């Protein structure tokens, strides 16, 4: 099974940007899961297991194994997300 997670944390301005741009892509909910990277200010076990050290970070998993990682919001534009949804949404 393939999964794509956008790891974010509360109060992170780049995370808010990435999330806002993601939500402009129709059908994003079927492709990307928005995942909190921290629980009570501490990195979640899932985030640690995925190698997340900063937010926002996109992690692609295949059968539970990390196969791709992208950190930082610079490339997470609305067109980036629309292309991702188009590519992986079917």
Q: What is the CATH number of the domain that holds 13?
A: 3.40.30.10
What is the average pLDDT value for the chain, to the nearest integer? Answer: 95
Q: Which residues 6+ apart lie within 8 Å of 83 measured at CB?
A: none
Q: Which domain holds residue 60?
A: 2-88
pLDDT at 85 over 70: yes
Write the pLDDT tens digit of every residue in 43-81.
Answer: 999 999 999 999 999 999 999 999 999 999 999 999 999
Cis (ω within 30 of 0) for the bond into 3? no
* Buried-exposed string 5-28: b where 16+ CB fall within 10 A, e elsewhere: bbbbbeebebbeebbebbeebeeb
Confidence band of 3 (pLDDT split at 50, 70, 90): very high
pTM value?
Answer: 0.94
Number of structural domains in the chain: 1
Question: Does an H or E element contain 83, and which?
Answer: helix 78-88
Q: What is the pLDDT of residue 89?
A: 85
Confidence band of 1 (pLDDT split at 50, 70, 90): low
pLDDT at 90 over 80: no
């Amino acid at each position: 099974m393939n999964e794509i997670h956008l790891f974010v944390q509360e109060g992170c301005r780049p995370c808010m940007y990435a999330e806002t741009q993601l939500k402009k892509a129709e059908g994003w909910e079927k492709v990307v899961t928005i995942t909190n990277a921290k629980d009570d200010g501490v990195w979640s076990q899932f985030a640690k297991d995925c190698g997340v050290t900063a937010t926002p970070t996109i992690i692609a998993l295949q059968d539970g194994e990390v196969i791709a990682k992208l950190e930082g919001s610079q490339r997470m534009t609305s067109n980036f997300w629309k292309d991702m949804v188009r590519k992986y949404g079917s």
